[in-house]
Amino acid sequence: MARTTPHDHPLTDAQPLYSRIAVELLGELTDGTVPPGGRLPGERRLAEHFGVSRETVRQALEVLRRDGLITTDRRGSHATLPGPPARSPSSLTFPVGARAAVPGTVDRATVTWEAPPPEHAEALGLAPHRPTLVHRYESATADGRGRRSAVTSFSAVALAEVEELARYRDRARGVAAAQLRRAYDWMRSAGLTLHHRDSITRLAGAPTVRVTRRVHDQYARPLEITDLLVDAQQEALVYEFTLPAAA
């Protein structure tokens, strides 16, 4: 006999609330909001998302767990639906504008725990002067040409959800090298689906281009914002986009 799941039955008001939440959550697992193997948000976050109590969420998760659609370990619940692993678009590298390792290029990256630029604080929903993790990246060729610099500020959500980023708080002194090239991988491993928007502007009176990247998750919560400055006379920016295959 074929096994049935909550998704096999029509959604009716006669069903218990936890059963209806299980159906809605399964829908988000099926449409890829949480990728196969991805970590689900915690019970409190799910309760806020669906507008129900944590007990209702706990019962809904148990329904999905019994059907083998999620598993739970010490780090939380994970989706187990079949499907290809999520692939990272080649254009989404951290920080935006980071160079691949090239001989003759000098790169430097540091992290500090400080109040971010005011425009970053506003974009991330941080109170004025509230400190957060700030990452600075500089790169130039050996002769000083092709200089680029980037400043990234992380949100409270990113630090709360991504353990690897949170660990930097106590060692963010701004002096030791701090390559966070895997920041986006860490976010995905924490169960976050990344959406980004890059805007490009020319700075008046200077041969410089500014690229601003804003990244948010599947719940529209801001995760980070980066401002990259590039000498437009020396370099060209190349954007790559990976499109899914036709169904």
Alpha-carbon gap, residue 35 to 26, rounded angstroms: 12
Query: pLDDT by residue (tens digit) across 30-85?
Result: 655 666 666 778 888 888 888 899 999 889 888 888 877 777 776 667 666 554 44
Strand partners, 148: 139, 230
Nearest one of 243, 245, 240 to 90, comparing CA atoms: 240
Phi, psi of 18 (to 5 degrees): -60, -35
Alpha-carbon gap, residue 208 to 232, rounded angstroms: 5
Residue written as token pair 């006999």: 1
Query: pLDDT by residue (tens digit) across 154-211?
Result: 999 999 998 888 888 766 665 555 667 788 888 888 888 888 888 888 877 767 888 8
Contact 224, 153 (CB under 8 A): yes
At 22, is the secondary structure helix, strand, or coil?
A: helix
- Flag whether pLDDT at 241 surpasses 60: no
Nearest one of 131, 212, 210, 142 to 169, comparing CA atoms: 131
Alpha-carbon gap, residue 77 to 83, rounded angstroms: 17
pTM score of the predicted model: 0.59
